[in-house]
């Protein structure tokens, strides 16, 4: 009897020792993985802050009222601003949003709520392929379909090129936002007598609206910083935008042109325009975060 008790006691001590060893090993692995993740986070943030700090240091001196109200200076002259490029960028991004947001949101609603699984998979695959297309290809596409047909570079052509780049982002983010809405919400709406269309329009979309806005703002941030598509479509102008079917200035093309200038004043102006682009991206990201925080799901 005493031998059996000793065996049980020895087995219990061994089991406790193994449990403590397993717990210690798991804690060490957890600490190691936390350290690796933290290091990767630092590696990711260092280039981001380095770019932001460098752009601020180079462009902050030209951040004044003239930058927002005056036209670009002629070669070799001082002063001036990028007011026309700011207005042109807003026009181009606005046209792109008017094209891509309705199509992208309605397409995502169809894929998420009404289509069959096979159709959704194929269209999802095509959307992923489109999101990986280089931006210059979108510019060439708009050049061939709009610029050549109309015979002129224009804001509309630039908006079409940017819309091609924005569309997959809007579709994917909207689709994910709709899938986040709990299925029980749809069942409750149908149980109260609402049809599928009423459920989607009055329940699902309003619930997912904050996340949809997040996707749209991210797409706008992507489009605002594109240069290559606009060189093929909107081209550039040193004057105020004259119309939707005329060459239109933009901040990205302005930076591209003035950064190559041999004159120091124009190079400083290019850095100031770069700072404005960075601030625009930060602003849209902040709006996206605010919209996500307001989400009820």
Task: Return the CATH number at 110.
Answer: 1.10.3720.10
Give residue for tokens 């949809």. 212
Q: Is residue 51 part of a domain?
A: no
Smallest Cα–Cα separation from 97: which of 176, 146, 167? 167
Residues 79, 27, single domain; the answer is no
pLDDT score, position 15: 53
Buried b (16+ CB within 10 A) or exposed e, 79-106: ebbbbbbbebbebbbebbbebbbeebbe
Residue 58 belongs to some domain of the structure: no
Could you tell me if residue 50 is inside a domain?
Answer: no
Q: Are residues 96 and 205 in the same domain?
A: yes
List CB contacts of 166: < 8 A, sequence separation 6 or more.
Answer: 96, 97, 100, 101, 104, 219, 220, 222, 223
Rg (alpha carbons) of the chain, rounded to whole number: 27
CB 231 within 8 A of CB 139: yes
- What is the model's pTM? 0.82
pLDDT at position 167 is 92
Residue 91 belongs to a domain: yes
Locate 169 and state its tokens: 């982002």
pLDDT at 27: 79
Q: Are residues 124 and 195 in the same domain?
A: yes
Task: Kindly compute the dihedral angle of the four CA atoms of residues 134, 142, 100, 227, in this order, to the nearest 10 degrees.
Answer: 50
Q: What's the pLDDT score for residue 297?
A: 47
Contact 269, 62 (CB under 8 A): yes
Residue pair 113/204 in contact (Cβ under 8 Å)? The answer is: yes
Q: Tell whether 52 is covered by a domain.
A: no
User: Which residue, 144, 164, 278, is CA-closest to 223?
Assistant: 164
pLDDT at 5: 42
Please report whether residue 55 resides in a domain: no
pLDDT of residue 282: 82
Residues in the chain with pLDDT values less than 50: 1, 5-8, 11, 295-297
Provide the residue range defining the domain that includes 33: 2-45
From CA 222, how far away is CA 162, in angstroms rounded?
9
Give residue 293's pLDDT: 66
Q: 161 is written with which tokens?
A: 């090129």
- Do 23 and 141 sit in the same domain of this protein? no
The reported pLDDT for the residue numbered 3 is 52
Same domain, yes or no, for 21 and 147? no
Q: How many domains does one find in the chain?
A: 2
């Amino acid at each position: 009897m005493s031998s059996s008790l000793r065996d049980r006691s020895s087995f219990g001590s061994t089991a406790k020792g193994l449990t403590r060893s397993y717990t210690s090993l798991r804690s060490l692995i957890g600490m190691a993985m936390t350290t690796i993740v933290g290091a990767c986070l630092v590696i990711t943030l260092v280039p981001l802050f380095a770019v932001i700090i460098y752009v601020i240091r180079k462009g902050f001196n030209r951040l004044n009222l003239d930058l927002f109200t005056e036209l670009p200076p002629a070669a070799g002259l001082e002063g001036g601003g990028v007011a026309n490029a700011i207005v042109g960028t807003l026009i181009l991004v606005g046209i792109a949003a008017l094209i891509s947001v309705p199509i992208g949101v309605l397409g995502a609603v169809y894929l998420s709520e009404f289509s069959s699984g096979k159709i959704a998979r194929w269209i999802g695959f095509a959307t992923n392929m489109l999101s990986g297309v280089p931006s210059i290809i979108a510019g060439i596409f708009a050049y061939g379909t709009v610029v050549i047909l109309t015979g002129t570079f224009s804001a509309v052509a630039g908006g079409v090129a940017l819309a091609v780049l924005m569309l997959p982002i809007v579709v994917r983010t909207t689709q994910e936002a709709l899938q986040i809405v709990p299925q029980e919400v749809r069942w409750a709406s149908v149980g109260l007598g609402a049809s599928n269309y009423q459920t989607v329009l009055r329940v699902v979309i309003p619930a997912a609206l904050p996340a949809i806005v997040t996707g749209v703002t991210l797409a706008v941030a992507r489009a605002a910083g594109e240069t290559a598509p606009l060189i093929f479509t909107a081209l550039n102008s040193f004057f105020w935008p004259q119309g939707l079917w005329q060459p239109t200035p933009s901040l990205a093309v302005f930076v591209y042109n003035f950064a190559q200038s041999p004159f120091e004043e124009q190079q400083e102006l290019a850095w100031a325009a770069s700072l404005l682009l960075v601030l625009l991206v930060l602003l849209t990201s902040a709006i996206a975060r605010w919209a996500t925080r307001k989400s009820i799901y």
